[in-house]
Amino acid sequence: MDWKLELVAVPVTDVDRAKSFYTDKVGFTADHDHRVSDDMRFVQLTPPGSACSIAIGEGIVTSTPGSVQGLQLVVPDIAAAHDELVERGVEVSEVQDFAWGSFVFFSDPDGNGWAVQQIPARS
């Protein structure tokens, strides 16, 4: 049986600001933006090429905005990913190289932390 991670909730304070950050700056696709009720708004955003999305909104989670750390994206070219994020206006770290891959790091406007990794070639 396959077990696929489909959706990760990311707590934010301002849904419109976060949606703009993830779509306009990071390049995610806005899949859904629905006001389910007066107390619930569901926004689903997906990184290009990913089978897993994030959910932001109102009434989605009770976690503290900015409390999610360690979200990770994988790319084939870390230098190109770094340059794209910089061009889009994201405050991103310089490329950092480790034995297990090359990384850049950034946070959304609430402080939720992301890593972008280029996995080293496997022998």
Residue 59, pLDDT above cutoff 80: yes
Helices (H), the chain: 15-20, 78-87
Token digits for 31? 């899949």
Assign 123 a pLDDT band (cuts: 50, 70, 90).
low
Domains present along the chain, CATH in parentheses: 7-118 (3.10.180.10)
Q: Give the pLDDT confidence of 11-45 residue by residue, as tens digits.
A: 999 999 999 999 999 999 999 999 999 999 999 99
Distance from the first to the final alpha carbon of the chain? 29
Cβ atoms of 68 and 11 closer than 8 Å: yes
Can you give the pTM of this predicted structure?
0.94
Cβ atoms of 7 and 53 closer than 8 Å: yes
Classify the C-alpha dihedral 59-3-111-24 as positive or negative.
negative
φ, ψ (nearest 5 deg) of residue 23: -85, -50
Residue 109, pLDDT above cutoff 70: yes
Range 47-57 average pLDDT: 97
Assign 120 a pLDDT band (cuts: 50, 70, 90).
confident
Q: Is 74 strand, coil or helix? A: strand
Q: Give the pLDDT confidence of 62-108 residue by residue, as tens digits.
A: 999 999 999 999 999 999 999 999 999 999 999 999 999 999 999 99
Cβ atoms of 20 and 111 closer than 8 Å: no
